[in-house]
């Protein structure tokens, strides 16, 4: 086992011990936002024709990417997904189950949304054949590629604590081989979901607003 693979496996074992009683926020097949319109447009970009490049067409070398890839060649397809994920373009869809495989030789983008009052020690672990790039609220977390098939725990991102509000975990899944696959588990030690107004509450709010408008119109009549 090579050094990179060993470290990744060791990190996964550490995560599994520390999060044995953690709350599972996302697991493979859970709902999220999905964009499979990238096709092969990223292939051989960002130095992808070399062993250490970002998007090679047939190389499984183990490598990490401390600097985010240049996605300008697919900016029209992805839209402003990193800076403004609440306004996605028509290439994105909300899937009730994120596919765990996609067209071989292509790349896809995935997003998970978290509306929370608080979350502690959030850890995201993945298995991807062949590689992954990750952002949190548009801030690059890192990326890597590893040889072999996919297994949960190949790639681990220690996200830490999430402040109250809406957060997005944004992923680019890389494939350039004869097969692919995807697995995910995102956990937190503690997680408090943001409350969603119930229909009755929304109705009362609507009546209240209508009353204010009526009172204002009557006063100005």
pLDDT digit string, tens, across residues 163-191: 999 999 999 999 987 788 999 999 999 99
- Determine the Cα–Cα distance for residues 143 and 67; give it in Å rounded to an integer: 8
pTM, two decimal places: 0.80
What are the structural domains, with CATH classification, of the chain? Answer: 3-220 (2.60.120)
Q: Are 177 and 145 in contact (CB under 8 A)?
A: no
> In this predicted model, what pLDDT tens digit does every residue of 6-55 receive, in sequence order?
333 333 333 333 435 799 999 999 999 999 999 999 999 999 888 789 99
Nearest Cα residue to 42 out of 31, 26, 53, 29? 53
- Determine the Cα–Cα distance for residues 148 and 165; give it in Å rounded to an integer: 38
């Amino acid at each position: 086992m090579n050094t990179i693979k060993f470290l990744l496996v060791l990190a996964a074992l550490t995560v599994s011990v520390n999060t044995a009683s953690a709350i599972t926020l996302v697991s493979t097949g859970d709902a999220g936002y999905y964009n499979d319109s990238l096709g092969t447009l990223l292939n051989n970009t960002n130095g992808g024709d070399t062993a250490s490049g970002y998007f090679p067409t047939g190389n499984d070398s183990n490598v990490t990417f401390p600097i985010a890839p240049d996605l300008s060649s697919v900016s029209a397809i992805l839209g402003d997904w990193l800076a403004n994920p609440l306004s996605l373009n028509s290439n994105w869809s909300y899937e009730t189950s994120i596919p765990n495989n996609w067209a071989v030789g292509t790349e896809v983008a995935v997003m998970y949304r978290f509306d929370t009052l608080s979350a502690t020690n959030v850890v995201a672990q993945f298995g991807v054949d062949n590689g992954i790039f990750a952002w949190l609220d548009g801030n690059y977390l890192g990326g890597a590629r590893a040889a072999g098939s996919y297994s949960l725990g190949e790639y681990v991102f220690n996200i830490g604590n999430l402040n109250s509000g809406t957060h997005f975990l944004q992923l680019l899944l890389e494939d350039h081989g004869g097969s692919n696959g995807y697995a995910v588990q995102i956990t937190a030690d503690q997680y408090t979901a943001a409350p969603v107004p119930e229909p009755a509450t929304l109705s009362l709010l609507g009546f209240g607003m209508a009353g204010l408008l009526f009172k204002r119109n009557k006063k100005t009549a």
